[in-house]
Amino acid sequence: MALFDLPLDELRAYRSESTEPEDFDAFWEKTLQQAREHELNARFERVDAGLTTVEVYDVTFAGFDGQPVKGWLRLPAGATEPLPLVVEFVGYGGGRGLPQENLLWASTGRAHFLMDTRGQGSAWGGGGATADPVGAAPAYPGFMTRGIDAPENYYYRRVFTDAVRAVEAARSHPLADAAWTVVSGASQGGGITLAVAGLVPDLVAVAPDVPFLCDFPRAVTLTDRHPYREIGLFLRTHRGRSAEVRRTLAYFDAVHFAARGRAPALFSVALEDETCPPSTVFAAFNAWAHQDKAIEVYDFNDHEGGGPFHDAAKLRWLRSYA
């Protein structure tokens, strides 16, 4: 696929036309307040993963509405003092996987918490273990239109709330240094990362890779690749509901969370990415509030982005923060 979006010089100046709801902050403050009415009840159970350099814990904590959410906590074997913490979120359709997967961050001497995504974990990887017990109005197959009739019902209200509670759960472990918390993720995980960065004020660094869930007004009309296409296919059947859908999505647009980012950030973008078009990523990057920000541009890559090359870039970058 050749370049299909704006030229790079225009991307660097691009601003989203997504309109932020007037009650955006109040909506999220109320949502998180309701979640915190339930005890976090984070439980860490050691599992035998057959590893000698990394210890793995099966984690359960209370997410949205107190519903149980799973995760893995991985620690360098033999750690006795609190460690810098990386909280990671996974891509669309994936789950937390198996205990022996995703060993990079623990191998750097950090604590690594990987959140399972409710209702997902059946499309790729080692699977997931968290149900989404909430019903919804008619939706297109997938997750993008579940509960899209109203912000209060939308699927990502539950996911973003889970993610904030995941940070709280990870920080509650005695070997996690809460003062040195980094959040990261790719694609859907990158979008969740941006949401958390806008809702958790005291992170030390943020690393969203080719983030999804950014600049909905442009994304749903620019690309016909899934998952964004789920929204268009829903509206193809439910004619006349575009304004209602736009209103719901505005509460979950990562551009608005980025405008509240209070920590240094390293983004990545791929200029041939049709899943998360470059302009939508730059929309979030250009909105990022903290002055200490950078973006790695992968000129001839699709949604794989920088892959292991970007992992190396993040490792170099994070040496300054955690």
pLDDT surpasses 80 at 322: no
Take residue 82 and report the two structure tokens written for it: 């609190």
CB 310 within 8 A of CB 207: no
Percent of the chain's residues with pLDDT above 70: 100
pLDDT surpasses 70 at 1: no
- pLDDT score recorded for residue 267: 98
Take residue 177 and report the two structure tokens written for it: 């240094």
pLDDT surpasses 80 at 91: yes
Mean pLDDT of 52-78: 98
Computed over every residue of the chain, the mean pLDDT equals: 97
Other Cβ atoms less than 10 A from the Cβ of 4: the count is: 13
273 counts as catalytic:
yes
Which residue out of 132, 209, 253, 273 is catalytically annotated?
Answer: 273
CB environment 207-242: b (16+ within 10 A), e (fewer): bbbbbbbbbbbbbbebbeebbbbbbbbbbeebeeee
Percent of the chain's residues with pLDDT above 90: 96
303 counts as catalytic:
yes
- pLDDT score recorded for residue 76: 98
Take residue 224 and report the two structure tokens written for it: 């016909």
- What tens digit of pLDDT does each residue of 155-198 get? 999 999 999 999 999 999 999 999 999 999 999 999 999 999 99
Contacts of 222 (CB under 8 A, 6+ apart): 5, 277, 279, 280
- pLDDT score recorded for residue 2: 79
Beta-bridge mates of residue 176: 83
Nearest to 313 by CA among 13, 111, 104: 104
Which residue out of 18, 187, 268, 279 is catalytically annotated?
Answer: 187
- What tens digit of pLDDT does each residue of 231-290 get? 999 999 999 999 999 999 999 999 999 999 999 999 999 999 999 999 999 999 999 999
Domain ranges of the chain: 8-318
Which residue out of 25, 290, 303, 311 is catalytically annotated?
Answer: 303
- pLDDT score recorded for residue 307: 97
Mean pLDDT of 52-60: 98
CB 149 within 8 A of CB 135: no
pLDDT surpasses 90 at 152: yes
pLDDT surpasses 80 at 211: yes
Contacts of 308 (CB under 8 A, 6+ apart): none
CATH of 8-318, one of 2.40.110.10, 3.40.190.10, 2.60.40.10, 3.40.50.1820: 3.40.50.1820
Residue 321: which pLDDT band, with cuts at 50, 70 and 90? confident
Q: Give backbone dihedrals phi and psi of 162, rounded to 5 degrees, phi first.
A: -50, -45
- pLDDT score recorded for residue 140: 86
User: Phi-psi region for residue 142, left (φ > 0), alpha (ψ -120 to 50) or beta?
Assistant: left
